[in-house]
Amino acid sequence: MPKNYSASGVPLQKGTACTNCRLRKIKCDGRKPKCTPCQTTSSEAFSDYQISVLEARLHELESRGASEDLQRLETRPLSTSAETSFGPLPASGFEDLPPILRRLLVHNFIMNCCWVGFFLHRGRFIKTVLQSEGEAPTFALLNTTYVWGNHLSSSQNSLEQEATLVSRALQSSAHALSENHPQKITQFIQAEILLGNYFYLAGKTVEGKYHVTAAASLVLGGGLHKIRSSDTEKSGYLAEALGTLALPKDSVEEGELINAFWTVLTLDSFWNSVHGTPSSIPYTSSTVRIDTPWPLIMEEYAEKPLDPNFRSSHTIENFLRGLPDDANSPRATQCKAAILFERATFTGLQFKNDPTSQTNFDILDSLIPRFISTLLPVDRANLPPLNYQLCINSLANAADIQLHLPFAPESVSSRIRILNAAKSILDLIDTWAHVPELEFIDPMLAIIWTIACKVFIDEILRLKGPGNPANLPFTLPQIVGFSKRVIGAMESHPFPLMIVQLTQVKSALASA
């Protein structure tokens, strides 16, 4: 490939040539907003070329099993920046984007859709959006996927383009229930989850909480916590009337509803814990008993549909009681980790203030390590993407920290427990946080890494004080080094929420 040079004749840094020139393998001079070769080449000719690239990649995606919603894919995201001359985007959320941009954004979204909260069947989604097979998605769903496709682009996109796409998504979501679509409620739940996750990543936690809470209201109102409930005497899937929520036509649509419920509960439980409030889905209350079975990878619903006579009950209650189950899919594992994080956060504080609640504490105290011991190590060879695996394992260790954190100042055993859990998170960071596949990471990790770093910073302060026991696992220089390594990882992923968290831990470390 020819070497690229800037307009001043200095060789460009590797990776800074524009996407057009990289794809066409020609010299790039790095001029902004558009380099000289792009100025002299018609946008129509390049669009035809890029369409062919997209079609080849999408064909590869489908041939590798588009129904596998947790399949690890190596395809890199494509640029969606102004380099490709799309012109101004339509401001209306009910007017679709230019075809080439639409395909680019959907391509980038599909590459990372599982960890951003996408629970629908990926193969069916691709066919409806890109191949015009079946009912086209609602504008609410389309526009939220465009927002994420833009974020997951390989280029630095303009703030104006991002703002327009977000505005379109909010506009169409506000009118989602007025659209004439048989799956409008399911797709509205999906859109709200995607928006909530996006706003959390953007550091706009109030907006994130609003959209995730809205999704929680929808799944409860639709009775999705009672799918396959043993309480029902009906022959259908659900135990409660669903109003305008369409009943599933087949095992895949049933799987989408099951996964919708657990995706919402996972995000709601985690982020509400971060806000210091209980989950919007009160799953420990007798009035909202969760009977829906644990989620599966979407392909499993198609290949091995649930037996028509299968019924489920007390799903979360049985898990928290330590009863064994066979629910070990990546989606189920992430749900369980989030539930443990939420329960640990509030149970630790409750036991601190009310010693009579020790039974609940003791159950979690044994359940969390047992759960961690069942987790597969993070590995490229495993089915879920590295991002997904990293989040599950980190979240489980963060639950251990949350349970014992209130007792660390007085209890040596709790102090050692949270240090070892934080070190486990650091080990995951050291091994995986800097690999190329993790250019984009789950916004949950911004919080989890902050939790781990604060454990180390608090330990620095304790080690500087008097009366430290001799059996502590790490020395002061080691702990300082641990803190700096977490901060280094946070600096390498500078999305808005991470930047906010990074500012906090840097200030705390400087004070320590």
Q: Is 274 exposed, middle or buried (0-12, 13-18, 19+ CB in 10 A)?
A: buried
What length is written for the chain?
Answer: 512
Residue 473's CB is within 10 A of a number of other CB atoms, namely 12
Cα 307–Cα 309–Cα 313 angle in degrees, nearest 5? 100
**pLDDT, tens digit (0-9, with 9 covering 90-100), for 439-459:** 889 999 999 999 999 999 999
**pLDDT, tens digit (0-9, with 9 covering 90-100), for 127-140:** 998 877 888 999 99
- Partners of 11 in the β-ladder: 5
**pLDDT, tens digit (0-9, with 9 covering 90-100), for 335-365:** 999 999 999 999 999 999 998 889 999 999 9
- Digit-by-digit pLDDT tens for the chain (512 residues) are 444 444 445 555 544 555 445 434 457 776 654 567 655 543 343 445 555 655 565 566 555 544 444 444 444 566 665 444 567 899 999 999 998 889 889 989 988 888 899 999 999 999 998 877 888 999 999 999 999 999 988 666 678 899 999 999 999 999 998 888 989 999 999 999 999 999 999 999 999 999 999 999 999 999 999 999 998 544 344 444 445 577 888 999 999 999 999 999 999 999 999 999 989 999 988 888 999 999 999 889 989 899 999 999 999 999 999 999 989 999 999 999 999 999 999 999 999 999 888 999 999 999 999 999 999 999 988 878 899 999 999 999 999 999 999 999 999 999 999 999 999 999 999 999 999 888 889 999 999 999 999 999 999 999 999 989 989 999 999 999 999 999 999 999 999 999 999 999 999 999 99
- Partners of 312 in the β-ladder: 229
| 215/398 Cα distance (integer angstroms) | 25
| 86/152 Cα distance (integer angstroms) | 18
